[in-house]
Amino acid sequence: MGEVIVITSGKGGVGKTTTTANIGTGLALEGKSVVLLDADIGLRNLDVVMGLENRIVYDLVDVVEKTCRLKQGLIKDKRFPNLFLMPAAQTKDKSAVTPEQMMELTKNLAEEFDYVLVDSPAGIEQGFKNAIAGASRSIVVTTPEVSAVRDADRIIGLLEANDLKNPQLLINRIKLEMVKRGDMMNIDDIVDILAIDLLGVVPDDEQIVISTNRGEPAIVDGRSLAGQAYKNIVKRILGDNLPFMSLDTDEGLIAKIARVFGFVKK
């Protein structure tokens, strides 16, 4: 029986879909069988981020309504050995499925796959309730902004009220330079405030825009900062007790360079 993980945030635009795509691809690269489930009915995007938008025939609603079989609703990502996408419907809305149907769907998928990653829509209404329905584990994505952290806090409360204990935090788009200046909340600040376990930190990285343009998750070409950060996150999901290293090393490097050029005293 596989694990169903929901990726959620409350606020829109903080990187849920990018995170789902990268973590899912990363798990597949580590040899796991993975299905990415786009629960954002009416505003689907996971297919685009994955570069699979031209291969959609059936979608999640078709599967739930039994217009097609479960397997027909899955798109195989040919670039990776064991990665599949179940796209959301684009012309329906969140009320097209119920939490009970989602529970059944994720349960069926978990029988076939090691990991079922559910990309939640923004908000706390029906779409969110659908997305968390079958999950046993949750990842809360936030950015270092007041509005995003506030919404993350609300979501954490709702997850816990729905028996999803111990949600894990992913801080996205941190800007090292701004943190250094004291103009952006740092990791400690955010972890202090939200008081949940930290899963990982992803730096703000232009490479994410480029990889989204191409439809290939940044983790595939792991040379970018964000790609490396996602690699570490994947390892932690798999149970590696990895220290928060990649950023640290890079920071060490930046600091070193800065010192060489005399920007930093010491």
Q: Which positions touch other proteins (CB under 8 A)?
A: 145-146, 149-150, 153-154, 156-157, 160, 165-166, 179-189, 193-196, 201, 243-245, 247-248, 251
Comparing CB distances to other proteins, the nearer of 56 and 187 is 187
Determine contact, residues 188/201, Cβ cutoff 8 Å.
Answer: no
Comparing CB distances to other proteins, the nearer of 125 and 192 is 192
- Closest approach, Cβ 154 to other proteins, in A, equals 6
Instruction: Provide the residue count of the chain.
Output: 266
Q: What is the CA radius of gyration of the chain?
A: 18
Among 251, 235, 120, 244, CA closest to 171: 244
Position 154: which residue type?
R
- Closest approach, Cβ 255 to other proteins, in A, equals 8
Please give the Cα distance from 110 to 107 (Å, whole number).
5
Determine contact, residues 99/130, Cβ cutoff 8 Å.
Answer: yes
- Closest approach, Cβ 177 to other proteins, in A, equals 11
Comparing CB distances to other proteins, the nearer of 76 and 150 is 150
Please give the Cα distance from 56 to 45 (Å, whole number).
12
Comparing CB distances to other proteins, the nearer of 28 and 247 is 247
Comparing CB distances to other proteins, the nearer of 13 and 31 is 13
Strands 83-86, 75-76: pairing kind: antiparallel
Comparing CB distances to other proteins, the nearer of 221 and 248 is 248
Among 182, 173, 180, CA closest to 149: 173
- Closest approach, Cβ 204 to other proteins, in A, equals 14
Residue 256, both tokens? 């070193």
- Closest approach, Cβ 199 to other proteins, in A, equals 14
Please give the Cα distance from 135 to 45 (Å, whole number).
20
- Closest approach, Cβ 51 to other proteins, in A, equals 32
